[in-house]
Amino acid sequence: MTKEEFLGWPNWETWNVALWLGTEYCLYLCMCGYKTYPQPFRSLRRDLMEQIGYISTKDRVSLWNHKLDVNRLDEWIRES
């Protein structure tokens, strides 16, 4: 594990977004609909903002935070 990793994720921010999407049932169901998108996380966060007004997790991690490993979140969504 590198210094920046957090519970198997690249960093705390990426883990927090995945935790939020994976444990809020309605968000999880919504997220599953994006598995086949070319860029699942980017598409999901855009729609969450435009349709629901979500721009961050309950822990105030922005869905546009520069620390997010968007590619890892894409992989995770495809695997979920």
Q: What is the pLDDT of residues 6-20, one digit of tens each?
A: 999 999 999 999 999
User: Three-state DSSP class for 57?
Assistant: coil
Q: Where are the domains of the chain?
A: 15-79
CB 21 within 8 A of CB 74: no
User: pTM of this prediction?
Assistant: 0.93
pLDDT band at residue 70, thresholds of 50, 70 and 90?
very high
- pLDDT tens digits for 45-55? 999 999 999 99
Q: Which residue has the tokens 């705390």?
A: 12
